[in-house]
Amino acid sequence: MTFRLLTYNIWVGGQGRADLLAHVITACRPDLVLVQEATRPDVIADIAQTTGMAEWRAFDRQSLGYISRLPVDHASWHRPRVSHHAFVEIVPAGQAFRVFGVHLSAVHSAITERRRVFELRALLRSVQRHEPAFHVLAGDFNTLAPGATLDPRRLPIRLRPLLWLSGGRVRWRTIKTVLDEGYVDAFRTLHPEEHGYTMPTWDPHVRLDYVFVPSAYSDRLVACEVVKHADAVAASDHLPVLTEFNVP
């Protein structure tokens, strides 16, 4: 039996783009969708109805939400004091594993990278109580993986000064922190030579969206793909990531 997990940043609530987002999601046939920037519950409700999904939850001004093909057994939101966004913890119906949805602080700079590391460590402390059971960390990490490069010329003009204040470069430590804690990057594990860029949809040149599983369960990974549906460019500024893995 396999489980299909989609992580999708729908961009400032998705207002006016619910049908496009629903088309992208329907094509992926997910069991569970982790939604970032799900700040408009009415939009999430519309998407769930259009896609025929059984359950959804989202809250005003709360980034993390979800849409599920089946009712979930447990869903809770946790916001450590150091975190800009709460993360969501979900147990899909009838399953023994947990999914943790993440949306770390944005902006490419040394200061925000340090904040992302603090946020991530707070999340990992919460996850530790469930180890060593199988679980998934997924979402918009807003950071680059080790070895990736950022071209400052392709940043929005309003964000370039923050990078310059960092000396023109950032020591990307967030993803390394996840890997050092014993997780594997699902996309990189299955596609060691591909870029996997997820943002922006009209000119993809950075990978900000990730899925991680504990290294002891890496053999459960079946597929992990950046979704390039025809409606994706207009639907959001992020491309979603679809991961399929085996479950007992």
Q: What distance lies between CA 27 and its chain's CA centroid?
A: 18
Residue 110: pLDDT band by 50, 70, 90 thresholds? confident
69 within 8 A of 54, measured Cβ to Cβ: yes
Reported as a single tens digit per residue, the pLDDT across 200-246 is 999 999 999 999 999 999 999 999 999 999 999 999 999 999 999 99
Query: Does 58 fall in a domain?
Result: yes
Q: How confident is the model at residue 164 (pLDDT cuts 50, 70, 90)?
A: very low
For 102, the token pair is 């993440």
58: containing domain: 2-107+118-144+183-246
Q: Which residues contact 206 (CB under 8 A, 6 or more apart)?
A: 144, 148, 150, 197, 198, 199
Question: If pLDDT is split at 50, 70 and 90, which confidence band does 151 have?
Answer: low
Q: How many domains does the chain have?
A: 1
Query: What per-residue confidence (pLDDT) applies to 131?
Result: 72
Copy the structure tokens of residue 247.
């479950």
pLDDT tens per residue, range 68-98: 999 999 999 999 887 889 999 999 999 999 9
Q: Which domain CATH number covers 234?
A: 3.60.10.10
- What pLDDT shows up at residue 158? 53
Asked, for residue 190, whether it belongs to a domain, the answer is yes
* 212, part of any domain: yes
Can you tell me the mean pLDDT for 122-126? 91
SS3 content of the chain, % helix, strand, coil (to 5): 30, 25, 40
Q: Is residue 195 part of a domain?
A: yes
Assigned domain for 172 exists: no
Residue 151 lies in a domain: no
DSSP string, 155-205: S-GGGHHHHHHTTT-----HHHHHHHTTEEEHHHHH-TT-----B-TTS--
Does residue 53 sit within a domain? yes
Nearest to 144 by CA among 114, 165, 113, 120: 113
Q: Is residue 198 part of a domain?
A: yes
Q: C-alpha angle 34/246/222, rounded to 5°?
A: 85
pTM for the structure as a whole: 0.93
Best CA proximity match to 175, nearest among 122, 117, 219? 117
Q: What is the pLDDT of residues 16-69, one digit of tens each?
A: 999 999 999 999 999 999 999 999 999 999 999 999 999 999 999 899 999 999
